[in-house]
Amino acid sequence: MNKIIVPVDFSIYSEYALEAAAILARKNDAEILALHMLEMSDSILTASNDGPKPKIVFFLKLAQQRFEEFLTRDYLEGVKITPIVKHSKVFSEVSVVAEEHQADLIVMGSHGVSGFTEVFVGSNTEKVVRHSDLPVLVIKQKPTNLSFENVVFASDFSEKSVDVYQRALKTLGEGANIHLLYVNVPGENFKSTTEMEQNVANFLMKAEGNMNNLNKVHYVSDYSIQKGIMNFSNLFGADLIVMPTHGRKGLAHFFEGSISEDMANRANLPVLTLKI
């Protein structure tokens, strides 16, 4: 892990993300790219004149000044950090910046949303999770050591999830203790014990070439996958939930939803999503 992007809006939640990124940067000798999205009206951006645009220059300088103040936290001492200021919406620009700088991980702070607010407004974190090809780590609270000693990898253990699991192992490093979770729910996706065990056995053979971690597989039943993951993770004492995401967009996302996005929004634990 060489470069970590942290979108910053100067809120307490983006400070949680920045502090988490600092912990990870120290462990991996990585650089932090602190990204602030300065939203400007189209009239300002498209104004035509022969010289520089005074309003754009003013807002950029103001943002850079706030950056300098925001990035003087004690926990950033000794960490290489590069401030980046852009003037567009967060969810559409983060992936572009990540590609430009060849970043490895996005760390975001989020307070989560629910109910009608979520339907009509959504959250920038949810949108980044949906659009990003990079792993996205969502932080909800002030981080401690981010040791990831008890990690829950929730999956349907399909063949598509094998690559995600392998990338999760690479992202988290050797110190992570990963437990695999399958949530069995009522309805057409319900599986018998034999079916679940066969799926997991096939998954482990493809992902690791053996079944040495079979004792780290857990099966739970609940009324929804989200409830099953959250209930198990809280009882298990997990410090991170890892999930694949399909990154659905448009009407498919609206009607089918995304379990990973929902977990990133609602779970009180850190959530790491990786796109299938």
Tens of pLDDT, residue by residue over 59-75, are 677 777 877 888 889 99
**CATH number for position 126:** 3.40.50.620
Domain count, the chain: 2
Please tell me whether residues 88 and 174 are part of one structural domain: no
Cβ–Cβ < 8 Å for 184, 190 = yes
The per-residue pLDDT for 259 is: 85
Q: What b/e sequence results for 187-219 when a residue is b if at least 16 CB atoms lie within 10 Å of its CB, and e otherwise?
A: eeeeeeeeebeebbeebbeebeeeeeeeeebeb
The one-letter amino acid code at 195 reads E
Tens of pLDDT, residue by residue over 102-130, are 999 999 988 755 444 443 334 678 778 88
Please tell me whether residues 72 and 192 are part of one structural domain: no
Question: Beta strands 81-86 and 31-37: pairing type?
Answer: parallel
Residue that terminates a domain, selected from 122, 144, 166: 144
What DSSP character marks residue 214?
G
Please tell me whether residues 94 and 177 are part of one structural domain: no
**What is the extent of the structural domain holding 127?**
1-144
Residue 155, SS3 per DSSP:
coil
Distances (CA, A) of 146 to 24, 53, 176, 260, 271: 8, 43, 10, 20, 12
Highest mean pLDDT among 119-123, 205-209, 242-246, 248-252: 205-209
Please tell me whether residues 133 and 196 are part of one structural domain: no
Residue that terminates a domain, selected from 119, 144, 169: 144
- In this prediction the pTM is 0.86
The per-residue pLDDT for 52 is: 52
Please tell me whether residues 167 and 140 are part of one structural domain: no
Please tell me whether residues 174 and 198 are part of one structural domain: yes
Of 135-139, 195-199, 233-237, 256-260, least confident by mean pLDDT is 256-260
Residue 50 has pLDDT above 60, yes or no: no
Please tell me whether residues 59 and 36 are part of one structural domain: yes
| H-assigned helices in 132-192 | 160-172
Residues with Cβ within 8 Å of residue 63, at least 6 apart in sequence: 36, 38, 85
Of 32-41, 146-155, 215-224, least confident by mean pLDDT is 32-41
